[in-house]
A = this chain, B = another copy of it.
Amino acid sequence: MAIETTSIHLVTADALLQNWQGHRRLTRRTIEAFPDDKLFQFSVGGMRTFGELALEFISMAVPIVEGVSTGKWIAFEHGKPQTKSELLRLWDTQTEQLNEKFPKIPAARFSEADKAFGQWEMAGLATIQYAIDNEIHHRGQGYVYLRALGIEPPPFWDRN
């Protein structure tokens, strides 16, 4: 008889962070692939521009790690970057902050339910996974914008 293995644990906190940072490297390359005059100007179907979507990722990443870590949910004040270089500067700052703050999340907070930003009640892990999934989802939309502009997006499988 096959042994059911549903209760074995697969993913460490460190692996989750590394997976996220791999996705963030790909998102960074997607931002870079946009021409300067299209990042905050171009979209398809009346949707948000990829610059606006990237700012959403930024408004979620560090604030969510802080919120899961401390229970304090503080909206990120990122000003209004209008250029690719300003956006990438913010991005790179968060890359460092995530590497610093994520490993300090207390173990119990991953499974503890909390109301993220006072609104979404989920375990800490689910809130972090939501941020990652949301980034993958909207980055895929950025790929359509790039294709509509005649630009080849970065390869999806490359996370280095």
Measured CB to CB, the residues of A under 8 A from B are 2-14, 16-17, 19, 23, 44-47, 103-107, 110, 120, 125, 129-130, 133-134, 136-141, 143-149, 156-157
Inter-chain contact A5/B107, CB cutoff 8 Å: yes
With known contacts A10-B11, A125-B11, A136-B136, A5–B156 Cβ distance under 8 A: no
Chain A interface, >50% SS class: helix
Q: Can you tell how many copies of this chain the complex includes?
A: 2
The 9 closest A-B pairs by CB, nearest first: A45-B147, A140-B140, A9-B9, A6-B14, A11-B11, A45-B148, A137-B140, A144-B144, A5-B107
Q: In the complex, what distance in Å separates the CA atom of A109 from the CA atom of B8?
A: 12
